[in-house]
Amino acid sequence: MLSLFIVSGLGVLAMLAEIFKFKKYVFPIVLGGLIGALGALYMEWQTPKSYALFDNMIVFDKMALAFSGVIIVTAFFWFIFANDYFEEESNVVDHTALVLFALTGALMLTAFKNMTTLFLGVEIMSIPLYVLAASKKRYLASNEAGFKYLIMGSFASGFLLFGIALIYGATGSFDIAEIRQYLTDNAGTVPSFFIAGVVMMLVAMLFKVSAAPFHFWAPDVYQGAPTVITALMSTIVKTAAFIAILKLFMIGFSGAATVWSGVLAAVIALSLIIANFTAAVQSNVKRMLAYSSISHAAFMLMVVLANVRSNASVSGILYYSLAYSIGSIAAFTVFYNVSRNGNETVEGFNGLAKRNPLLAACMTVAMLSLAGIPVTSGFFAKYFVFTTLIGTEYKWLLILAVLTSAVGVYYYFKIIIAMYFKNAETTEPVFFETSNKLVVIITTLITLIIGFIPDVITGLFVY
């Protein structure tokens, strides 16, 4: 709870920096604040309050705290990485404030217990992002990205609200625990508009994680938005939206699984096929990473599909989101520096191994992790997801997932091949800010460490 207050307070503080002229200190203040928020999370972890706060609106149990931790750690690295970009921008303060507000929404999504907090969390997270996607005002692609995201996102929010209204009409409650109770009490006699509501909420949430067939906005928005914002969207936002889906469907609508599991299985299969095959033919790296994020969304949805409330599934998705976020941050940081000259294609990586050997090695680890090659954390992430699905009737999805992952290896290796086996025109090292170098190295180390000893994360708590 305290971390939520700290992050939203930081947002307000960052806003004031322009007026009271402490713009230069915003960056250290934000980093300090995020460490403080992490400390607050740790304190609450020692004495977790599993009871809900504010009349059942929000509950910071161990699950919420762990996922908040993933989000804050990612945000910490993201801020160090993005500081360099912000220095070139005139409105640093607005950017920082908006990102912190989006972070507030993300933290709410980890801890919501009520549909009202869910909806507000989704909106608080999305609205700053619409603006941030369009923040390069002079670039048509950025404007297009912001506009597309806004229109489609508002449409999805409309679906979410309509779904919530229908579910409230059937159950008379916004509380997900009460909805769960309602489903067990009235099994078999649930009115059909409740089911319509569940499907509508599923559609809206799938839009937020950009699963196929609701993924059409993702490549354009990811490509058009500034690279740092794309990194934010594909890590923090995605993690937060996943926790929301996980809580909503595994806790709230678990009893109505027969309704949504078939739909979800189809969505996962479609996402895997569309994302991996389309990513393989992309030449723009940002677009490729957008499609790769769709396929990762499909993997994370598998845990929801398994619909088993167990330690393995919750810590599996926790591990997956951490591995994916950290790997993406490393990849985006390297890509941001490589594409400084405006070349966003794979050719930009040509000869990086000779120019910056250390960073090329880090990028290789990030790519291997995203592809799911053993020893890196990405492999164990996929492994944990597969083990939750193995006991269910959706084993055919596993075969599809393994086959499409093989396609995935192809496009991740395109970048590795470009770095090691292609020659660039120059052999001059690419300019990297020291802070960016640190981010890349530390995130790579984390990827390797949690890959070698996954128990650090999976053994964190017993659900």
Partner 1 sequence: MLGYTITQWLFGILSFLSIMFGLMVVFSRNPVSSVLYLILTFFCIAGHYLLMNAQFLAVVHIVVYAGAIMVLFLFVIMLMNLNEDQEPQRTWLTKIIAAVAGGLMLFVMVGSLKGSEQLQLQSYGASQVGLVKNLGKVLFHDFLFPFEIASVLLLAAMVGAIMIGKRDIK
Q: Which residues bind partner 1 (CB under 8 A)?
A: 8, 11-12, 15, 53-55, 57-58, 90-91, 94-95, 97-98, 101-102, 104-105, 108, 114, 116-117, 120, 123-124, 127-128, 130-131, 134-135, 137, 166, 172, 191-193, 195-196
Residues 323/450, Cβ–Cβ less than 8 Å: yes
Least distance CB 191 / partner 1 (angstroms)? 6
Distance (Å, whole) CA 299 – CA 296 = 5
Q: Judged by CB, which is closer to partner 1: 72, or 446?
A: 72
Specify the residue, 192 or 426, whose C-beta has the smaller distance to partner 1. Answer: 192
Is 189 or 423 the residue whose CB approaches partner 1 more closely? 189
Identify residue 304 by its one-letter amino acid code: V
CB of 340 to partner 1, least distance (A): 19
Distance from C-alpha of 107 to C-alpha of 98, rounded to nearest angstrom: 14
Instruction: Centre a 10 Å sphere on the Cβ of residue 273 and count the other Cβ atoms it contains.
Output: 17
Let me know if 428 is exposed, middle or buried by CB neighbors in 10 A (0-12, 13-18, 19+). exposed
CA–CA dist 170, 454 (Å, integer): 43
Identify which of 62, 52, 49 has the alpha carbon closest to the alpha carbon of residue 315: 62
Taking a C-beta distance cutoff of 8 angstroms, is the pair 151, 164 a contact?
A: no
DSSP assignment string, 217-277: HHHHHHHHS-HHHHHHIIIIIHHHHHHHHHHIIIIISGGGHHHHHHHHHHHHHHHHHHHHH
Q: Is 313 helix (H, G, I), strand (E, B) or coil?
A: helix
- Least distance from partner 1 to the Cβ atom of residue 24, Å: 16
Shortest CB 41 distance to partner 1, Å? 18
Query: Are 242 and 324 in contact, with CB atoms under 8 Å apart?
Result: no
Residue 213: asked if its preceding bond is cis (omega within 30°), the reply is: yes
For partner 1, the closer CB: 111 or 418? 111
Query: Closest separation between CB of residue 360 and partner 1, Å?
Result: 34
312-349 as b/e: b if 16+ CB within 10 A = bbbbbbbbbbbbbbbbbbbbbbbbbbbbeeeebbbebb
Query: CB 463 → partner 1: shortest distance, Å?
Result: 25
Taking the least distance from each CB to partner 1, the nearer of 128 and 454 is 128
Cβ–Cβ < 8 Å for 6, 40: yes
* Closest distance of CB 134 from partner 1, Å: 6
User: Taking the CB of residue 87, how many other CB atoms lie within 10 A of it?
Assistant: 10
Least distance from C-beta 48 to partner 1, angstroms?
19
Of residues 153 and 372, the one with the C-beta less far from partner 1? 153
Residue whose CB is less far from partner 1, 99 or 272: 99
- What's the angle, vertex CA 242, arms to CA 402 and CA 80, rounded to 5? 100
* CA-based R_g, the chain, Å: 21
The single residue listed with the structure tokens 């989704």 is 122
Shortest distance, position 149 Cβ to partner 1, whole Å = 12
Q: How far is the CB of 200 from partner 1 (least distance, A)?
A: 9
Which residue, 65 or 97, has its beta carbon nearer to partner 1? 97
Q: How far is the CB of 307 from partner 1 (least distance, A)?
A: 23
Complex with partner 1: residue 136 or 180, whichever CB lies closer: 136
Question: Cis bond leading into 454, ω under 30°?
Answer: no
Contact 59, 108 (CB under 8 A): no
Among 439, 416, 151, smallest CA distance to 285 is for: 416
**Which CB, 150 or 285, lies closer to partner 1?**
150
Record the tokens describing residue 368, joined without a space: 């291997």
8 A C-beta contact, residue 448 and residue 365 = yes
Nearer to partner 1, 101 or 320 (CB): 101
Q: Which is nearer to partner 1, 171 or 313 (CB)?
A: 171
Q: Find the shortest distance in angstroms from Cβ 221 to partner 1.
A: 16
User: What span, in angstroms and rounded, lies between the C-alpha atoms of 265 and 254?
Assistant: 15
